[in-house]
Structure 1
């Protein structure tokens, strides 16, 4: 069992679906395997999981993404389902999830739902944000909010390997590996890439401010991040990822 191992993965592309393909080395995708792609988005990785003959179901809580997934991959099965309310009992050989867990703070319930959905001895394969994920931007944004008398409260679940290992054990899993690694990731959009990212992923936090203040905050975050994240052509984000493989005990 590997635990709390630090690795570095070179940057290849800014597409999370492409990154997710490297996670598939831990998945048996042979014919007859039943796989749940939890948080499938528009289905790019669901299609990869199914290409060798495995029986794959993609689920997401976004109706819009499920519509797009069905349009792009009409031969596959997709369903709009909340990850915290899985209607399955011992049905899957593998639950696969890429870049999803950090959006779900109630990880204990999530793991309980996943365990129930897995067959005895079934496997969980997941990757998501680790503890120091996007630390530069988070710190810059928190400082900009503090200057305006507001506390930035972290809403993403980004644990250390030890913390997640313990949560897996408590949920009834036997971890095979829990690894963290750096993944420097370029943002699309050139000079506007950082602002677009903040507007997208911190939209709720920005929404409490008026339009003029939002622009001030974006400018301050960009100024603070530029010395560390700007490479002359684009912003390269300091993503740090956690990858786990565990079996239902």
Structure 2
């Protein structure tokens, strides 16, 4: 997945805005060491440091980290692989918003996070649940097929029951886990859905000629119009899992 950090900041600020509510679960006092896993352009990293916590923001995208360093030059950002963290028993909290659904190897991810946490340290995260953006994925798949292309979802989207088992297998004790609908308005009026697709489905469009890409975008909008176009705005059919889990010493 190749990320466009400018498009992400300008048209998809809702990702960070929704993530702010997740910070309410985090102890952000100055004695805390926090990892912002999948920090993107750094907006939530900046929120996490406001009460004096020591925060490191990591992302696999060099473009995102470059933009984060420009946005917040005094903060600590690093390009890193979340499934292979270099930290051992270091963090009080691993925080992550809207990231896990992009990572195929969840067992390796959770093992990496578990090892990076101190005993009784917490994983606090939120990401896509089963049937997240189902209408968008379905419309996009139809449009691709009509133009001779295929679609295979890149997302990992479990139910809370499925993810509970993965957490327990990794050694976590679950304090809180919910799965819920979160209809999400997309910015920029009629252009909202195509902006979303150009950001989050960029890998499918990167090798498609411009005229065909425009056709696919128009057809996706047509397929999705009846389901997620409401009152002159696209409302993405997001579903989320929200988790607080503790590293179990045993």
TM-score (norm. length: structure 2): 0.89
Shift of 1:75: 2.6
Q: Deviations for 1:36-72, whole angstroms, at most 9, x for unmatched residues? A: 1111112111111111111111111222222222232
- Count of residue pairs the alignment pairs up: 237
Aligned runs of 1:199-238 on 2, under 5 Å? 199-238=198-237
Structure 2 residue 183 is matched with structure 1 residue 197:
no
Q: Tell me, yes or no, if the aligned pair for 2:147 and 2:212 is still in contact at 8 Å.
A: no
Q: Which of the pair is proportionally richer in helix?
A: 2
Aligned counterparts, 1:14-163, within 5 A: 15-163=14-162
Q: Deviations over 1:87-110 (max 9, x none)?
A: 010000100001111111111111
1 CA distance for matches of 2:106 and 2:133?
A: 20
Identify if the C-alpha distance between structure 1 residues 56 and 146 changes in structure 2 by more than 3 Å, giving closer, same or farther. Answer: same
CA distance in structure 1 between the aligned counterparts of 2:70 and 2:130, rounded to whole angstroms: 36
Report the TM-score when normalising by structure 1: 0.89
Give the 3 Å change call, closer, same or farther, for CA 196–71 of structure 1 in structure 2.
Answer: closer
CA distance in 1, matches of 2:216, 2:73: 43
> CA 1:95–1:212 in structure 2 vs 1: closer, same or farther (change >3 Å)?
same
Q: How far apart in 1 are the matches of 2:195 and 2:186? A: 9
For residue 213 of structure 1, report the CA deviation from its aligned partner.
Answer: 2.7
Query: Which range moves more in the overlay, 101-110 or 215-224?
Result: 215-224
Q: Find runs of 4+ consecutive structure 1 residues off by over 4 angstroms.
A: none
| Contact 2:121–2:246 under 8 Å retained in 1 | yes
Deviations 1:131-177 (A, max 9, x none): 11111011111222333454421111111101111110111111112
- Unpaired runs of at least 5, structure 1: 1-12
> Which consecutive residues of structure 2, in runs of 5 or more, have no partner in the other structure?
1-11
Query: Do the aligned residues in 1 keep the contact of 2:37 with 2:94 (CA within 8 Å)?
Result: yes
Q: 1:233, CA displacement in angstroms?
A: 2.0
Does the residue aligned with 1:84 lie in a helix, a strand or coil? helix
